Amino acid sequence: MVTRLTPEARAGTEGTTAAEAAPRSTPMTPARTARLTKGERHALFVGLVVSGVLLAVVYVAHDARRGAVVARIKNTAVQGAPRPVTPLFGWTHWLGLEQVGTIVMLVTFLTAGVVLWRRYPRHPILLMAIACTAIVWEDPIMNWAPYAVYNPQLWHWPENWPLVSVSPTVEPFVVLGYVAFYLAPFFAGIWMLRRIQRRRPLGSFAWRHPLVSLAVLIFFVGFVYDAAQEIILVRTGMYTYSQVIPFGSVFTGKQYQFPLLWESTLVTTVMIPAGVLLYRDDTGRTVAEKLALRVRGFRTRPALGAFLVMFGILSACYLVLYGGSFAVIRASGAATSVACPFPYPEAKVYDPQGDYAKAGQPGPYSAGIMDGWETGQSGRPDVATSSSGRCSPTP
């Protein structure tokens, strides 16, 4: 069968060149990149976080130390780690027990945190637990301010790291368990507040001022909790307060002296905001969430905003209220009672203001790296070691 072209069709084909008659290719468009699903992005994020944590653990474990190592704190005249005072009950294995207990506690908290996060993602209590742990970066400063001298035999960060070196002797790993210390009083405080509110009318103080009531309860719970815990830990030899204000302190002059009024009061300046920020009102929102919603950028990311509010307020309270108060005490020179004898002979005696030398404690002495304007002085004063002081060796 022959197909005949119409005159119009023949006219159209006669003026068409070969190139024009060739089939036209469609332009190539770049392939669209497949976007990750929400579940894939979450898995990638978790994988990166876990990998970062593992790398950090390996790095820290590689550089972890035990004993007085660097020249800044090491007493080269002493071999080993002799102890001039026997620890609590005469048992010499407290440090091992405390460090193993810290590892068990951290593993337990981490496991529980992962399980609870999967069930209750971004729960305020979980966010606060992370915030309480994160403020550990300030701990070397908070050891320096109240003369908290840790046992060098604890596993610790390298003493020559910039921030770590602020600590009088060493910065141990046991402080990573801060969450059990600063957050625990909240649970007791909120439980007591709920019981009080159930028994009181709506017009009572506990109902009209729940945040103030919770803060007062946390103060008393935290004071007792801190005192009981620290007095025991100091007595076991984990650390000592090398200098305290005689007034308000217990066991003054002993190796296990403790600034009861000062330490147990000031430590609640972190416990109280941690608890108050977790209080939920009738709307179901916590105080931290309500504060975060005041910032426009956090309204689409309420969990991130709440966490940053928690971390920022806790960090500020820890640095200004706790650390700042002890820094004032330190600069005033009122902490004159020294712990005799100095409990860690393998380390230099931490004596930034010469009080140990006045009390007769033999050197060598260490002033630390913050013995200048930070304490209102210009280096360690040149003080002769007394031969008849309270800390002088007995013949």
Q: Which string of b and e fits 361-378 if b means at least 16 CB within 10 Å? A: bbeebbbbebbeebbebe
Cβ count near 208 (within 10 Å): 10
Report the relative pairing of strands 239-241 and 243-244 from DSSP bridges.
Answer: unpaired
39-53, 89-103, 108-122, 136-150: which has the minimum mean pLDDT? Answer: 39-53
DSSP string, 185-214: HHHHHHHHHHHHHHHS-TTSHHHH-HHHHH
Model pLDDT for residues 157-179, shown as the tens digit of each residue: 888 888 999 999 999 988 888 88
Model pLDDT for residues 78-124, shown as the tens digit of each residue: 998 898 988 999 999 999 999 999 889 888 988 888 898 889 888 99
- pLDDT above 90 covers a percentage of the chain that reads 57
Q: Which of 333, 328, 225, 233 is nearest to 271 (CA)?
A: 225
State pTM to two decimals.
Answer: 0.83
Chain centroid to Cα 50, Å, comes to: 20
pLDDT for 23 beyond 60: no
9-23, 60-74, 155-169, 281-295: which has the minimum mean pLDDT? Answer: 9-23
Model pLDDT for residues 203-247, shown as the tens digit of each residue: 899 999 999 999 999 999 999 999 999 999 999 999 999 999 999
Q: Supply the pLDDT for residue 56.
A: 67
- CA torsion 251-255-256-260 (nearest 10°) is 50
- CA torsion 40-43-47-49 (nearest 10°) is 110
Give the integer Cα–Cα distance in Å for 182 and 226.
9
Q: Residue 8: enclosing H or E segment and its boundaries?
A: helix 7-14
The alpha-helical segments, DSSP class H, found in 255-295 are 260-266, 268-276, 287-292
Give the integer Cα–Cα distance in Å for 301 and 323.
32
Helix (H) and strand (E) counts in the chain: 16, 6
Query: When comparing pLDDT for 262 and 117, which is higher?
Result: 262
